[in-house]
Structure formats: structure tokens, C-alpha cells
Amino acid sequence: MRGPLFYAKILLFGEYGIIKDSKGLAIPYNSYQGTLKKEENLNESAALSNKNLCLFYTYLKEKTVEFPELLSFRLEELEKDINEGMYFDSSIPQGYGVGSSGALVAALYDKYANNKITVLENLTRDKLLQLKQIFSIMESFFHGKSSGLDPLNSYLSIPILINSKDHIEPAGIPSQKEEGKGAVFLLDSQIIGETEPMVNIFMNKMKNEGFRNMLSKEFSAHTDACIDDFLKGNVKSLFGNVKKLSKVVLDNFQPMIPKKFHQVWQSGIESNNYYLKLCGSGGGGYILGFAPDFEKAKEQLKDYRLELVYRF
């Protein structure tokens, strides 16, 4: 048995802001993917995945009782497949902010949900919100609290624009320029990040009025401007706004940036060769970078592993 592939995702803009209802833009990232598989003899990582699926099955069973109007799964079939050695075979790095648990949730929904909303039908706003709600409940098993956006992105495999908590829509993004000098890239921190502690830090910071003002005035304004520029292909303006966003994040989200990258972050802002921002909740994993000239950024960041995501 082997199921369809579900891809990683990158939240280009909106990390933390979307928790507090500002805009976000998420895109699928096809370099990493996962699929459900079933085998009799499992290696160590497959056996661990199978064990986690067992725990997830118990969680789903409870949640279907709690939310019968939203969740309906063929649980007996799921239990049987888990007992027969089903696991999630994934190349998506865990704790890296690119949606490893989201892809798993999307795969399970796709295979076991009753009356599932499919990618092929007319995706109205109501259907998108319903999917997001379902995925939010499912993915909360992994993080304690989930927006449901990662699985939504992985399941639909299309860019998604988050206007607010109750207003999401598919987004058309400009096609890549294969020969373009500018780029979006991932920088590997080589540190595994954990979502829940980072979200807890953020929630504690939200008790501070100054932090709340910064979030609603500066952070959200720069994020919204970046999304607008990106979708319209205003590259020059985009880099100006990403630089402002990068500064605000460095000044206000330091616990989410691994210490050894504080200076790397600052150097990008000073040199204008690249600008860094959080990828997911931070604390490790990938850091997202934007470079007006990718070759110059690569030269300045030659001590780090970079992955190209998108060319301008």
C-alpha cells in the first residue's frame, strides 16, 4: 500500500500574526513530501511513526465524539491499517517549520474521512473554513494549538492567502523567473525547533501592551505590505518592506531566533544582501531568507546550507 504524496509548506508571511488575525500567505514546497505506507517489517523510524499513529488514532476517536458535526472517519479501517504496519514515510524534516505534521494530517484526512471535501470541487469560502476547522482540531494533537493552515496547504497543494481567521482563499502567485537574480531561500539552522514552547513565549509576550501595539501597528502593517507586493510582483517595493519586517522581528522576537543567528540576521539588514525572517514558529529549523541578488547572499552566507525556494 502506498498513498498519494502530500507536500511540505512554507508560510512566506504571517507567522505569529495569523494567530492574532492579521494576513498570511502560505505556499506548497514540493522539495519535501510524505505518504502513507504499509509494510510487515518496519525499520526503527517507521516503527516510531506507526506508534505515533496509534496515539493519534486514540486522539481522533475522542475528538469525533467531541465534534461529531465536524469529524467523521472510518476509524475501524484506520485501526486495522495501523495494526497491519501503516506508517507515514516522509522526507519533511520535523521541527523545521515546513509542516511535517500538516502533511500527515492531510494524508489521514484524505484516506479516512467520510464525506470529505475534495480538491476537485468548487472550493467556496465556507468549505475552506470547514476544512481549516477540521485540520485545526486534528493537528492540535501535535502542537497543543493549531490554526489548521499547514494541513490545509498540504491537502490542497495550492498557495493560500489568509486575510483573517474567517477569510481565506486560494491565491495566484506570480510565476517564477528561472533566470531571476532575486530569490526566496531557506537557511538551515541545524537546530530542531519545537512549536509549542515558542507559541507559549509569544502568548506571554501578548500580555504586554507595548508588544501588542507593535504587533498590530508595525508587524502586521509590514506583513500585509509584503504580501501585497509579492502577489502583485512589485519586487523592489517587496524588498524594502521585507527589510522593515526583518528589523521588527529581530527587535521583538529574539527568543524565537537562535542566538548564534542574531548577528547573521543583523548583517543581512546592514549589507542589504539578504533579509531574514522566521519560518514557522522559530526556535530552530529553517530561517526564511529574501535576497535581491541570490549569488551575493550565497557568498555572504557561505558557511550555511541554503535551499532555493522561489526566484524573482
Taking the C-alpha atoms of residue 130 and residue 24, their distance in angstroms, rounded to an integer, is 18
Which pLDDT belongs to residue 1? 62
Which pLDDT belongs to residue 220? 93
Residue 145 has pLDDT above 80, yes or no: no
Taking the C-alpha atoms of residue 50 and residue 77, their distance in angstroms, rounded to an integer, is 15
On the CB side of 179, how many CA atoms lie within 13 Å of its CA? 0
- Which residues belong to CATH 3.30.70.890 in the chain? 183-311
Handedness of CA 266, 270, 271, 276 (dihedral sign): positive
Helices (H), 67-193: 75-83, 100-112, 125-143, 149-156
Mean pLDDT value of segment 74-103: 94
What region, left, alpha or beta, does residue 21 occupy, with left being phi > 0 and alpha being psi -120 to 50 degrees?
Answer: left
Q: Per residue in 48-60, pLDDT tens?
A: 999 999 999 999 9
- Number of CB atoms found within 10 A of residue 46's CB: 18
Is 116 in a helix, a strand, or coil? coil
> Which amino acid is present at 171?
A
Q: Where are the beta strands (DSSP E) in 233-305?
A: 275-278, 286-291
CA 255 to chain centre: 19
- Which residues belong to CATH 3.30.230 in the chain? 6-170
**Eight-state DSSP code of residue 17:** G
- Where does the pLDDT of residue 199 fall: very low under 50, low under 70, confident under 90, or very high at 90 and above? confident
Residue 16 and residue 253 in contact, taking contact as beta carbons nearer than 8 Å: yes
Residue 202 and residue 308 in contact, taking contact as beta carbons nearer than 8 Å: no
Domain 6-170 CATH (choose: 3.40.630, 3.30.230, 1.10.540, 3.50.50): 3.30.230
Which pLDDT belongs to residue 122? 83
Q: Per residue in 220-275, pLDDT tens?
A: 999 999 999 999 999 999 999 999 999 999 999 999 999 999 999 999 999 999 99
Mean pLDDT value of segment 187-210: 91
Closest Cα to residue 265, out of 231, 228, 297?
Answer: 297
Is 34 in a helix, a strand, or coil? strand
SS3 breakdown of the chain: % helix, strand, coil, rounded to 5?
50, 20, 30
Residue 168 and residue 161 in contact, taking contact as beta carbons nearer than 8 Å: yes
Is 270 in a helix, a strand, or coil? helix
Of the two residues 98 and 144, the one the predictor is more confident about is 98
CATH T-level fold of 183-311:
Alpha-Beta Plaits (3.30.70)
* C-alpha cell at position 38: 504499509
Pairing status of strand 183-188 against strand 286-291: antiparallel
